[in-house]
Structure 1
Amino acid sequence: MKPTQETYTALQSAYEFFNRELFGGALPECLITLTRKEKRVYGYFWGQRFEEIGGTQKTDEIAMNPQHFKSRSVAQALSTLVHEMCHQWQAHHGTPSRSAYHNREWADKMESLGLMPSDTGQPGGKRTGQKVSHYIIPGGLFERVCAVILSDGFKLAWGEIVAEVEGDEGSGKGRTTRAKFTCPDCRANAWGKPDLNLVCGDCMVPMVAE
C-alpha cells in the first residue's frame, strides 16, 4: 500500500474493531485525522467537527498525533484511540461536562474497558479533571482485546521523525514556531507557540491547537 492508504486503513480498521469489541458497535462512524500541532497531546476528540460538502450530514473527529507512534508501543497508541472513543461514546450516549473536561462518567467508562484514568498517566493519579491521561490496566479488558488485534498482524507502519520535521509545503522555512488555538465553545482564536496551554478568558475552557 501507499503510505497514506496504509496509515488510514490501519486506523480505520482499529476503530471498527474496538467499536465492535468494546462498545458493541454503539459508536457512529467518525473522521480519523492526524495532528501534530500540540506535541504533548496524544490525541483528541471533537464532536460534529466536519460537515458533508454539499450535504447536511455531520461527523465527529478523532485526531491522533503521529509524533508518538514511534516512541510508544502499538498497544499504547491504540489505547489513545480508545481513550478518544470513550469521549465519543459519552458525547452520543452519556452526559459530557464542559468542553475537554474528563468527568466521573467518562472515567468509569474508561475503567470498565481496562484503561485507568490518571492525570499523571501513572498509578495514583486523579481520575477526573481538565487534563487526564490513562494507563493500561494489566489483565484488563483492553489489554486482552488489544492482544487479539495485534496477534492478527495489526501495525502502525509510519511514525513521524520528530527531530527532522520540515516546514509547511511551499513555505521555504523551517518548522513553524506559532500555532493557531481555537476555543471549542465560542470559537475565539489566539496564536502562540505550539506547546502553550491557553485558556479562553470568556468561557474558561482550554483552547485547542488547530
Structure 2
Amino acid sequence: MKQTVKTSRAAGQLEKMFRELNKHYFGGALPEPIISLKKTPSAYGHITCAKVWQAGQESKYEINISSATLDRPIEETTATLLHEMVHEHNLENGIKDTSNNGVYHNKRFKEQAESHGLVVSHHDKYGWTITNPSEELLDFILFQGWDAIQMGERLAWADMVGTGNGSKTPGSSETGAPKPPKAKSSTRRWICPKCGTIIRSTKEVRVICADCMEMFVKAD
C-alpha cells in the first residue's frame, strides 16, 4: 500500500474516511463538507458553524484536520474526524452542543458523540470534549484497513506563542476539540519477523503468518 505522504493523498484519504463514517454512523445523511488541512496548534480539528464554501450550486461546511498532528495513530485521527462529524450532525439537526464561542462542549455533545462511536471524557475547562474511539469504532477502523497518515506540518515558535499563521483566531465562528491530554493508542501492531507483514488488533492476540508459518510479534 502506498504511504500517505502527499497533501492531496492525505485529503483524499480523509474524504474517503468521511464517506465511510457517514454511511456507518449517520446513514449517509451528513452533507459532504470541504476537508481542509490547516495548522491549528490549539486543536486537532474544527468545523465551521456555517456553510462557508460555495461549490457550484452547493454550500458546504468546512472540516479542518490540523496539519500539525496529521501523523497521529489512525484511530486518533479518525476520532477527531468523527468528533467534527458529530458537530455537523448537531448543526444539521438544530442541537446546540457548545457554548462560549464553540469552546465548551455540553452534555448534548457527549450524548450525540457516544451514540456515534466515540467515548467522551470531561475536561475542566472545555467540558465534554475529550474524545476517544469506542471498541466498536476501533473494530470498524481495522475492518476498513485504514493506515496512519505519515506526514505532519512542523510548528514554528510563532505558532506556539499564538502569533503565527497557524494560531487560533479569537472569536472565530468555529467549533472543535481543543487538544486534550494525549491518550495511549488503543491498537496494537504486530509484525511477522520473517516477511515483515504488519497487522493490527485491539487486544492481545496469537497469530501465525500463513505465508511464513512464523508467529507475529508485537511491533511496538
More relative contact order, 1 or 2 (CA 8 Å, 6+ apart)? 2
Distance in 1, matches of 2:64 and 2:128, equals: 16
Q: Say if 1:156 and 1:107 are closer, same or farther in 2 by CA, change over 3 A.
A: same
How many pairs align? 165
Q: Name segments (4+ residues, structure 1) moved above 3 Å.
A: 128-131, 175-180
Q: Which residue of 2 is the match for residue 43 of structure 1?
A: 45
Residue 152 (structure 2) pairs with residue 160 (structure 1): yes
Runs of 5+ consecutive residues of structure 2 not aligned to the other structure: 180-220
Q: Which residue of 1 is the match for residue 17 of structure 2?
A: 14
Distance in 1, matches of 2:50 and 2:172, equals: 11
Given the alignment, which residue of 25, 29, 33 partners 2:32? Answer: 29
Which secondary structure does the structure 2 equivalent of 1:26 belong to? coil
The one-letter code matched in structure 1 to 2:169 is: F
Answer whether contact 2:120 2:129 (CA < 8 A) is retained: yes
Distance in 1, matches of 2:58 and 2:86, equals: 22
| Structure of greater Rg | 2
Answer whether contact 1:42 1:68 (CA < 8 A) is retained: yes
TM-score by length of 1: 0.65
Instruction: Tell me by how many angstroms 1:29 deviates.
Output: 1.1
Q: Percent identity?
A: 21
TM-score by length of 2: 0.63
Answer whether contact 2:113 2:119 (CA < 8 A) is retained: yes
The one-letter code matched in structure 2 to 1:67 is: A
Given the alignment, which residue of 119, 127, 149 partners 2:144? Answer: 149
Runs of 5+ consecutive residues of structure 1 not aligned to the other structure: 121-125, 168-174, 188-194, 196-210
Answer whether contact 1:47 1:59 (CA < 8 A) is retained: no
Distance in 2, matches of 1:35 and 1:131, equals: 24
Q: Which residue of 2 is the match for residue 76 of structure 1?
A: 76
Q: Say if 1:5 and 1:107 are closer, same or farther in 2 by CA, change over 3 A.
A: same
Q: Say if 1:94 and 1:143 are closer, same or farther in 2 by CA, change over 3 A.
A: farther
1:90-140 Cα shifts (integer Å, max 9, x gaps): 0002411434142222211211223121234xxxxx7x9557221223x3x
Higher strand fraction (1 or 2): 2
Q: Say if 1:157 and 1:116 are closer, same or farther in 2 by CA, change over 3 A.
A: closer
Answer whether contact 1:79 1:136 (CA < 8 A) is retained: yes
